[in-house]
A = this chain, B = another copy of it.
Amino acid sequence: MAENLDQHFLNKVFEGSGITKDELQVIIPKYKQVKFNKNDYLLQEGQVEKKYWFIESGFIRSYIIDTEGNDITFNLYASKDVVIDYPSIFFFSPTRENIQALTDCVCWEIKLEDFQEMFGSISSFREQQKSLLVGSYFALKQHSISLIADEAKVRYLRLLKEKPQIVQNVSLKHIATFLGITDTSLSRIRKEISN
């Protein structure tokens, strides 16, 4: 069976994880390509989501509106990131976040039940997904620690180092709220760094 050209991205994602060709034949068909247009919502507050996504291309953010009406970006996602809402996944509990495409996006969607079945039955898939999910969990935790321990410039430099594509493609105001500062301050930090 000739490899679907579209699935080249998925093959790359699973490459080098010890997943065999035979296993890939099982895994890849569970993923469905979905395209989002700029400003589309993948998920809105109050929904329970029974799927999650890999991003092939494009940029996505999750945000909440806090009690004072501030729009706060909670996470920023780029190519190869996994977009997942833990309360939905583990507890079938409605999300409190909005997840929105910042640009046109190509994503790969997988249903939770398919995920769970393969997680149980294919050990190489389990290991690969485990490290992906743990990675994204710790990245957020690290960010939360950084909000306490580091000054804004350090947080910006870390983001720039770890996710340069995001810094280049996401608007200042979203990056700023993600970093816990105003867009004015972020603009000044950028200037200072460029000197």
A residues with a Cβ closer than 8 A to B are 64, 66, 68, 70, 72, 74, 86-87, 90-93, 96, 130, 133-134, 137-138, 141, 144-145, 147-149, 177, 180
Contact = CB atoms under 8 A, between A and B. Distances in A.
A-B complex: 3 closest residue pairs judged by Cβ atoms: A148-B180, A93-B134, A147-B147
Please tell me how many copies of the chain the complex holds: 2
Contacts of A138: 87, 96
Contacts of A180: 147-148
Given A90-B90, A93-B134, A134-B87, A72 B141 contact: no
Contacts of A130: 91-93
A43 to B, nearest CB: 15
Nearest to A140: B144
A141 B96 contact: yes
